[in-house]
Structure formats: structure tokens, C-alpha cells
Amino acid sequence: MRILIFNGVNSKKPNTASCISGFFESVLLEMGVEVVIFNVSDHPIPIFSEDQIYPSQPVKEMVDMFQSSNMHIWLSPLYHGGMTGAMKNCLDWLVLGSSDQEPYLSNTRVGLVCWGYGGNSASGIDNMRTVANTLRAWTLPYAVPIVMETFYEQGTTEITQSYKERFERMIYLLLASQ
């Protein structure tokens, strides 16, 4: 069993996304699950173009990584009501698997996490859910919208117990039928 953590933040600096992906990775590894992390900032994925007949090697590797993972956890900050553009661009490249026997992300279970200030991150979850379902993935009915004002323990960069429990519940639900 292999879980892909898809970090949609285009930044190499430590940030909320790296904090969240680190938490998921440590819990999953402790459970004996193989974890692969795909950070959009670490891969030279070009802007999607239907005219590009021969996709680059990084694109082919990304598509294979996404399709060969049993489950995904998608992480994105809220950007104007949705996921980041870099994240969406990566997902657009999954069209390369449209003619496969099991196209796109057929039957892949996906957990969704989005964060923002002011409590509007649920709209980012809705956006990611729409794209995942269009790619034939099955999204968990449970997602984690994060209100940034309540995410970290006061004055620290430590995730609050409440959010740790929510992430652990997501992991449980992802793995429940395995």
C-alpha cells in the first residue's frame, strides 16, 4: 500500500504545507505505510498544453507516481476560492492516462486538506473534490478545512491537538477498507 501526499504549495521554505505533510508522513510511516511526497516546488512540471505531443520526463514520472499510489492526501492553501494553480496544472497533466484501462485516478481514494484565514477553506475543499471526482477518484466524505487562526498552538509552530486528531481520523478513514 502506498499513499501519495500531494503538496500544492509552490515554495521551498518551511511552511504550513510542509508541517502538515510532515505530520501525515510520520504517522503513516509509523504505521508501516509506504509514503511518497510530491511537492509541486520540487518538480519542473511545465504549464499544461494539449499541443504538447511528447510530455517531458518529469511529467511522465509524476503521472506514474499519481496513478501507482493507492491513496492520496491533497494539501493546498485556499487561493481565490480553490487550490493553487500549480497544483491544478499537475492534475491537468493526468489527461495522459485518459486512454488507460483504468483512466486518470480511477478508484483512488483521496483525502483533502485546505487552509486559509477567516474560515473559508471549505470552498477550497469543494474545488479539490470537484477535480478529484472528475478524475474518477473517490474522495473521502470527511475532509479537513483549516482555520489558520486556530491551527497552531499559541505562539508556536506546533499543530494543535484538535487538528492532529482530525488528521489521524482522515488516515483511519483512508486505511479503513484496506
pLDDT single digits (tens) 139-165: 999 999 999 999 999 988 899 999 999
Q: Are 114 and 121 in contact (CB under 8 A)?
A: yes
| Runs of H (alpha helix) within 4-159 | 16-30, 57-67, 85-92, 122-134
Q: What is the pLDDT of residues 36-89, one digit of tens each?
A: 999 999 999 999 998 887 899 999 999 999 999 999 999 999 999 999 999 999
Backbone region of residue 30 per phi and psi (left: phi > 0; alpha: psi in -120 to 50; beta: other values): alpha
Neighbours of 37 (CB within 10 A): 18
Residue 52 grid cell: 504538447
Q: Looking at the predicted structure, is the pLDDT value of residue 105 above 90? A: yes
Entry pTM = 0.96
Q: What is the pLDDT of residue 53?
A: 76
Q: What is the pLDDT of residue 178?
A: 66
With a CB cutoff of 8 Å and minimum separation 6, the contacts of 21 are 5, 7, 37, 39, 75
Q: Looking at the predicted structure, is the pLDDT value of residue 23 above 90? A: yes
Question: Quick one: average pLDDT of 100-125?
Answer: 94
> What is the Cα–Cα distance from 93 to 166, expressed in whole angstroms?
30
